[in-house]
Amino acid sequence: MPTQGKLEAVCKTVLERITPKPDERKKIEGLAKTLERKVAEAAEYFGVKAAVRLEGSVAKDTWLSGEPDIDIFMRLSPTVPRTALGEVALKVARKATEGARQVERFAEHPYLEAFVDGVRVNIVPCYEAKRGEWLSATDRTPYHTDYVKARLTPQMRGEVRLLKKFMKGIGVYGAEIKVGGFSGYLCELLIIRYGSFLEVLRTFANLRQRMVVDTENHYEGRKDELPLLFNEPLVVVDPVDMGRNVASAVQRQKLYTFVAAARAFLENPSLKFFYPPETKPLTVGELKEALQKRGSTLVFIIFGRVEAVPDVLWGQLYRSQRSLAKLLETNDFVVLRHTVWSDEENLNAFIFELESHILPPVKRHLGPPLEKIEDCQKFLAKHSANPETVSGPYIEDDRWVVLIKRKQTDATTLLSEKLRDGGRSAGVAKEIAQALSRSFKIYKNAEIVEVYSRNSEFAKFLTEFLQGKPKWLEKA
Amino acid sequence: MPTQGKLEAVCKTVLERITPKPDERKKIEGLAKTLERKVAEAAEYFGVKAAVRLEGSVAKDTWLSGEPDIDIFMRLSPTVPRTALGEVALKVARKATEGARQVERFAEHPYLEAFVDGVRVNIVPCYEAKRGEWLSATDRTPYHTDYVKARLTPQMRGEVRLLKKFMKGIGVYGAEIKVGGFSGYLCELLIIRYGSFLEVLRTFANLRQRMVVDTENHYEGRKDELPLLFNEPLVVVDPVDMGRNVASAVQRQKLYTFVAAARAFLENPSLKFFYPPETKPLTVGELKEALQKRGSTLVFIIFGRVEAVPDVLWGQLYRSQRSLAKLLETNDFVVLRHTVWSDEENLNAFIFELESHILPPVKRHLGPPLEKIEDCQKFLAKHSANPETVSGPYIEDDRWVVLIKRKQTDATTLLSEKLRDGGRSAGVAKEIAQALSRSFKIYKNAEIVEVYSRNSEFAKFLTEFLQGKPKWLEKA
């Protein structure tokens, strides 16, 4: 067991690195002020009535040095129709950041991401809504900012920064669908509730069952209602909206990765958790050797551009991944692991690791129990003189059974056939199916070097996937 | 649907063949009389007080032409100790059948089987017991004989013969452990209850759930007690002993084979059910081709003499067969079917048909859920730096998981290693393990031709096993 001293020393080192220095702070705060003004002016220019305000981690002073995101919110009148909200906001935002690189983004409604002086700026619309009378998902944000600002001491801001950096380091930070992890606001609420980074870690390290955080005691005396309202394993009741679980986006795997990492860090603190070593991709030769020695089969489905914004893309990728894994499993392939990768531009990959991509040509097929007389008749009629029947029908215990030829014995053939038309019938999501129906390619084991050697990000991802082990699990 | 006429025509033909003609009847009844006398004389010679009487199918006139079994019972005084019962009986029986071929048999206690004038004769001891005060399992037999003789009309004796011959033809006749089927007494009780062969078939053809026959109404008004007393799917309360299920030896597979055959016969009556065509074994060339085309793997464990009487031998063979199938399954091999064969002398064979005898070298190994903190620590300590770990440990949902090297990838290696010392630890029964520890050989697929080509009974058995389909299922 490490001494408290060792833990504190690591935290101190990290905190020094991630707390913005006066120069950086001055630059970012100045830029935020300027942008606030520019957005207000642009709104006025278009005759749009809007309350413009800085939100997010810069407003709350919980941003990480070197990784600022400036969020400027425009609060519009509820008289603007929802369908027009995004359009109006985009027009204003484009004008306010004229000359900067601009990317249209989409969450619940469109918003603009711009890069100004090398800093990412999000200009987001919302409604001037009364507390509890939300018209769009972003309406709560100004209330969140106010709630957090009023409660965080300067000391606690450091603790938030540590928690965020830790979560980034172990890959569970971010509520976007791609990550399915912890949002910045969630980190702040956890610090408000538990007081410090280490206390949050200790709490999660001891997680043994469902965890409910209700800092504002919205459910005082009504705790029984919570399981009916929320079924996620981690529930953090939103202080500004008791009907909302701030942790609803946190996937189980991310929650438990955090739990495991918290335990490991408390046992053996190290900078590695905050600053994981960069992955050095295997050379092509090493990759080939690793795949050969491994003995499993990796099947890759590689395809190109999907017409969808990131949140939609990842939602559809994950859904399709699950459906394809299911397809393989219902056809008796043993799926060891599966994952998905995307550069969000021109290259997407589903990866399935199988015990084997070839199945034996014969399988057992259980018929009805003898007591179901009509089903038995149908079963015998179907299998008794069928050329696909290898043996039987025979009686085993109280059922008819046959050994029959297996229809699909090769996973790559199965996938090729099912995806030829996009794979909608196999549960592939719409936009993914469109991309697949244009073209895709299936690679098996070392055949992937073709893709691997021309895309270093993919190479890094695959190297990590093969290793499988979180970096913080390595002994120091 | 065939007309009643077609059914009756087939039954008539069979009945003519299986009813003993006057000459044969005279010979058998004369032989039985002689033997009764000889056994009585032998008992007297040794000073053993014994009531000697003919029992069984000859006594009840329900034996099949060409297949008589003469059962002579010696009822001894309850003062003879159980341990001496068999010894005394054997001594008497040997003397009574001096000069004939004699084989010592064993059911609950030893008895003698002798071949006199080409007829099998069983000389069996039992106690002179009062009804309900049974001292040994065979004490009921004289009561059974009396019960049946008093109730069977000459017409019904023919129906019993038909039922027995049908059951022999489809392989479900005989209560001995090897068969696990219907005894002669059980056939007689079914005819007494349902009146005719066809009515018995109709009753079983419609079997949809547990069936209880209680001809003597022992459980009148107490039917609720039956499920507590008997848990077999077929319960036939013994008229002379309400605590005994005459069908307790009937295995589910035999019961349901009878059900299925009854349905098939009523649909499409044919002599084939009573006289199945002899199996013509595949030639060695055909066998090799059939195994190759099949695509599965047949694994044979061949071994020699087991020191045990047939009932014990088969009991141990079946038990060992199940244990070895379980061994293969717990090691992830997919067992399609398994069976056992024995000539009851020098050659025994376990046969396992596997999807494949080779498994992929990697498998998924599920660890504990994250909430079990101590188990997680142990799991990580064990797998984190283990050379057997192929990938991970990683978190999937809420558990730790690893991909690890599979210990056993070849079924024949697994079996060889486990059986080297007889296989007791793998659940092989005692006498079988003794035989195995002396020597055994494992054959795979066509390697079996070595055994196949020198044993025609085994060849017949394997040919039928590969086909799998009951002969009566073939369309005429």
Give the pLDDT confidence of A47-84 residue by residue, as tens digits. Answer: 999 999 999 999 999 999 999 999 999 999 998 888 88
Instruction: Identify whether residues A353 and A379 lie together within a single domain.
Output: no
Instruction: Identify whether residues B452 and B315 lie together within a single domain.
Output: yes
Instruction: Tell me the per-residue pLDDT of A361-385, one tens digit each, with 9 for 90 and over.
Output: 999 999 999 999 999 999 999 999 8
Nearest residue to B26 (alpha-carbon basis) of B71, B61, B73, B52:
B61
Instruction: Tell me the per-residue pLDDT of B247-306, one tens digit each, with 9 for 90 and over.
Output: 999 999 999 999 999 999 999 999 999 999 999 999 999 999 999 999 999 999 999 999
Instruction: Identify whether residues A288 and A420 lie together within a single domain.
Output: yes
Task: Determine how many CB atoms are found less than 10 A away from the CB of residue B299.
Answer: 26
Tokens of B59: 């006594």
Instruction: Count the alpha carbons within 13 Å of A408 in the hemisphere toward its beta carbon.
Output: 17
- Structural domain contains residue B13: no
* Mean pLDDT across B383-395: 94
CB A158 within 8 A of CB A196: no
Instruction: Identify whether residues A202 and A133 lie together within a single domain.
Output: no
- Structural domain contains residue A177: yes
Instruction: Identify whether residues B33 and B77 lie together within a single domain.
Output: yes
**Rounded to 5°, angle at Cα A35 from A48 and A58:** 120
Mutation target vs B (from A322, A333, A371; most B CBs, 10 A cutoff): A371
- Structural domain contains residue A120: yes
CB A173 within 8 A of CB A164: yes
Tokens of B42: 């032998």
Q: Examine the pLDDT at B320 and tell me if it is beyond 90.
A: yes
Q: How far apart are CA B291 and CA B296, in angstroms?
A: 8
Chain A CB within 8 Å of residue B366 CB: no
Instruction: Identify whether residues A368 and A288 lie together within a single domain.
Output: no
Instruction: Identify whether residues B253 and B296 lie together within a single domain.
Output: no
CB A124 within 8 A of CB A47: no
Quote the number of domains for chain A: 4
- Structural domain contains residue B4: no
CB B367 within 8 A of CB B376: yes
Instruction: Identify whether residues A120 and A241 lie together within a single domain.
Output: no
Instruction: Identify whether residues A342 and A203 lie together within a single domain.
Output: no
Last residue of a domain, one of A118, A147, A176: A147
Q: How far apart are CA B272 and CA B13, in angstroms?
A: 12
Instruction: Tell me the per-residue pLDDT of B129-179, one tens digit each, with 9 for 90 and over.
Output: 999 899 988 999 999 999 999 999 999 999 999 999 999 999 999 999 999
Q: What is the pLDDT of residue A476?
A: 43
Spell out which residues of chain A touch residue B296, defining contact as CB-CB under 8 Å: 360-362, 390, 403
Backbone angles phi, psi at A61, to 5 degrees: 55, 45
Largest CA distance in chain B: 85
Q: How far apart are CA B135 and CA B140, in angstroms?
A: 9
Cβ of B391 and A363 within 8 Å?
no
CATH number at residue B25: 3.30.460.10
- Structural domain contains residue B9: no
Q: Which residues form the domain of A342?
A: 284-358+409-473
- Structural domain contains residue A6: no
- Structural domain contains residue B439: yes
Chain B CB within 8 Å of residue A378 CB: no
Name the burial class of residue B1, with classes exposed (0-12), middle (13-18) and buried (19+) by CB atoms within 10 angstroms of its CB: exposed
Q: How confident is the model at residue A107 (pLDDT cuts 50, 70, 90)?
A: confident
Distance from CA of A63 to the nearest CA of B (A): 29
Cβ of B394 and A470 within 8 Å?
yes
Instruction: Identify whether residues B94 and B137 lie together within a single domain.
Output: yes
Q: How confident is the model at residue B476 (pLDDT cuts 50, 70, 90)?
A: very low
CB B323 within 8 A of CB B427: yes
- Structural domain contains residue B382: yes
Cβ of A391 and B469 within 8 Å?
yes
Last residue of a domain, one of A125, A147, A169: A147
Instruction: Tell me the per-residue pLDDT of A310-337, one tens digit each, with 9 for 90 and over.
Output: 889 999 999 999 999 999 999 999 999 9
CATH number at residue B328: 3.30.70.590
Last residue of a domain, one of B230, B250, B273: B273
CATH number at residue A400: 3.30.70
Nearest to A362 among B294, B384, B405 (CB): B294
Spell out which residues of chain B touch residue A232, defining contact as CB-CB under 8 Å: none
Instruction: Identify whether residues B329 and B417 lie together within a single domain.
Output: yes
Chain A CB within 8 Å of residue B295 CB: yes
Mutation target vs A (from B352, B366, B370; most A CBs, 10 A cutoff): B370
Instruction: Identify whether residues A250 and A378 lie together within a single domain.
Output: no
